[in-house]
Amino acid sequence: MRRVLLTGLVVVSVVLAAGGWVAFRGWQARSHLVNAAGLAKDLSVQVLEGDMARAQRTLSALQEQATAARGATGDPVWWLGQRTPYAGDDLTAVRQISVAVDDLARLAFPTLLRVDLASLVPKQGRLDVTRLRTVSAEVARADQAVRRSSEQLRAVPLGGLVAQVRDAVTALRAELDQLGDLTSAADRGARLLPPLLGADGPRTYLLVSQNPAELRATGGMLGAYAVLRADDGRIRLAGQGNATDLLYFDPPLKVAPEVRRLWSDLPGMYPADVNLDPDFPTAAALYREMVRRRTGTTVDGVLAVDPVVLSYLLGVIGPVAVPDGPELSGSTAVRTLLSDSYRDLDVKAQDTFFARAAARVFEALFTKTVDARALLTVMRRSIQERRILFWSVRSEEQRVLAGTRLAGQLPEKDTVPTVGVFLNDGSGAKLGYYLRFSATLTVGACQPDGRRELRLRVTVHSTAPRSGLTESVTGLALSGDKYTARTFVSVHTPSGGAVLTGRLDGRDTAMGGGTDRRRQVAVANVEVGPGQTRTLDVTLLTGQNGAGTADLVLTPTVTPWTTQIVTAPRCEQ
């Protein structure tokens, strides 16, 4: 009995000692990780402010804390603890957090600090494409390190973790997602910009202005365009044109059968309708061919922007004078282009003014000295809001763009259920300037067949006046009233999903339908008068995907959407 008790005492003592050691090392790891988190925030601020000397010192301190946290969770006792019941999952998760932070501090952050952000913007009218190619390999390595850390953390199961550890894993995943967006964009940019800007030979592009005053699915009616020439990092204006000069095409250009069933031949007939469908590569290819047939100009790609992008850029580069028009600034550009011009100019003069405005802003961007970090910030915001879209005729370049917001496409295959809400004006008017939109997507019940219910609510509010607008704004008044905006709201289900019900202001509403690349599409007619608000509710099913979150892809509007996604636990939880 004494031997049994002695043996038991020794075992208990060892277990308690091991538990105490693990607890002590866990306290150390937590302390180091908290310090590392604070230093990482400081580092981000210093990089954005361009204070590289302080950033280097902060990085050294961050690396010390991250290495210490990794060491505290890497000894044999901790390894044994990871294989015990109850606490093992939590210890494994803490270890993965420590490894991810240490890898970022050693492999990703030093590279990001070495890459001078100023090299990513033009100087004296030229972008240094040679420098871009030099940093490309370094940026790619940083992106790979971030992706590797993100994948390792994604593999950590959340189900059995205590709340504090689970919250830490979730927060770090979100931070890595944001960092991954940044490094991925930088990697693509460093690879694509040199050839796109003529490092391997001259290129020609269409710069197209999307007009959200008359809504189309990708942002707005494609109107005026400018022809740009790029050669060895320099861009110059080579010509301009108006959509009205392209007339219409009969017989129409060929469009995909799915698009034709939803929108008939309109995208292939009229330049203003090429983007009724939300797939920007389709719209860009149609517009390119229309320009080629009418003018003989063959371009290597199409770049689309809207007046909101121009306002963001003007906030960085300063006011720009437009020939035969008013000066544009960051605070006045949207109102001048989408409201005042309709009061003061005829239709053809409006298109000419839009084209000149876009060309002058981009010309100023390539000739003025600008703050690199401020410029990259507004470019990132514009791309996040899907206000800058680009399509290249070269398939290898387009493959690099695939999956990015810049490409202007719904994902081919959803990683999380993705719902598209796209807008097309049905008034034949320019009332989009006065419309405000919001959307709430709620993740609902799990279905026995592995699908999940989603509830979408879209609200449309009009700030239009009841009188006083010119005929160039009220246009054809197809809704029957000059001041009532008619908007076709197209809801695209997640991949493999379905539309169940549609209600407008609480009443069942008729909705047109079709399919688009494995997604069901429901189209509702929403008419809203001055001061009025209408609410569209659509119930959807996902494909076989039990994710507890979802994503929204939206038509960019004059004023950004107000959005909310209400999540739920995964179906297996």
Q: Which value, to the nearest 10 degrees, does the dihedral of the CA atoms of residues 378, 379, 382, 388 take?
A: 150
CATH of 413-566, one of 2.60.40, 3.90.1690, 1.10.1740, 1.10.3470: 2.60.40
User: Which tops the pLDDT comparison, 158 or 4?
Assistant: 158
The pLDDT, as a whole number, for residue 191 is: 86
The pLDDT, as a whole number, for residue 77 is: 60
Q: Which of 246, 304, 239, 244 lies closest to 275, judged by CA? A: 304
Distance CA 155, CA 136 (A): 29
pLDDT tens for 66-98 read 788 777 777 676 667 666 776 667 777 777 777
CA distances from 239 to 226, 235, 236, 287, 519 (A): 6, 12, 9, 16, 39
User: Which tops the pLDDT comparison, 240 or 254?
Assistant: 254
Q: Order of strands, edge to edge, in the sheet holding 435-446?
A: 507-508, 498-504, 533-541, 452-462, 435-446, 562-566
Distance CA 26, CA 31 (A): 9
Distance CA 354, CA 366 (A): 19
The pLDDT, as a whole number, for residue 11 is: 33
The pLDDT, as a whole number, for residue 18 is: 39
pLDDT tens for 319-349 read 999 887 889 999 999 999 999 888 787 777 7
User: Which tops the pLDDT comparison, 116 or 480?
Assistant: 480
Instruction: Decide if 558 contacts 432 (C-beta within 8 A).
Output: yes
pLDDT tens for 456-483 read 999 999 999 999 999 889 999 999 999 9
Half-sphere exposure of 248 (CA within 13 A, CB side): 10
The pLDDT, as a whole number, for residue 474 is: 93
Average pLDDT of span 336-363? 81
Distance CA 440, CA 421 (A): 11
pLDDT tens for 198-220 read 999 999 999 998 999 999 999 99
Distance CA 239, CA 352 (A): 12
The pLDDT, as a whole number, for residue 6 is: 39
Average pLDDT of span 8-20? 39
The pLDDT, as a whole number, for residue 41 is: 67
Judge whether residue 3 has pLDDT over 60: no
Half-sphere exposure of 379 (CA within 13 A, CB side): 17
Q: Which residues contact 222 (CB under 8 A, 6 or more apart)?
A: 208, 209, 210, 211, 216, 243, 271, 272, 274, 275, 283, 287, 304
Instruction: Decide if 527 contacts 477 (C-beta within 8 A).
Output: no
Judge whether residue 16 has pLDDT over 60: no
Q: Is 513 helix (H, G, I), strand (E, B) or coil?
A: strand
Judge whether residue 257 has pLDDT over 80: yes
Q: What percent of the chain has pLDDT over 90?
A: 48
Name the average pLDDT for the chain.
85
Residue 428 region by backbone torsions, left for phi larger than 0, else alpha for psi between -120 and 50, else beta:
left
Q: Which residues contact 210 (CB under 8 A, 6 or more apart)?
A: 216, 218, 219, 220, 221, 222, 223, 275, 304, 305, 306
The pLDDT, as a whole number, for residue 539 is: 97
DSSP character string of 232-284: TTEEEEEEEE-GGGG---SSPPP--HHHHHHHTTHHHH-GGGTTSSS-HHHHH
The pLDDT, as a whole number, for residue 17 is: 40
Average pLDDT of span 543-568? 94
The pLDDT, as a whole number, for residue 372 is: 74
Distance CA 333, CA 344 (A): 15
Average pLDDT of span 553-566? 97
Q: What percent of the chain has pLDDT over 70?
A: 88
Judge whether residue 286 has pLDDT over 90: yes
Q: Which residues contact 20 (CB under 8 A, 6 or more apart)?
A: none
Enumerate the domain spans of the chain: 2-196, 203-398, 413-566
Judge whether residue 223 has pLDDT over 90: no
The pLDDT, as a whole number, for residue 116 is: 64
Distance CA 83, CA 462 (A): 60
pLDDT tens for 117-171 read 666 677 777 888 888 888 888 888 888 888 888 887 777 777 766 777 677 767 7
Judge whether residue 432 has pLDDT over 50: yes
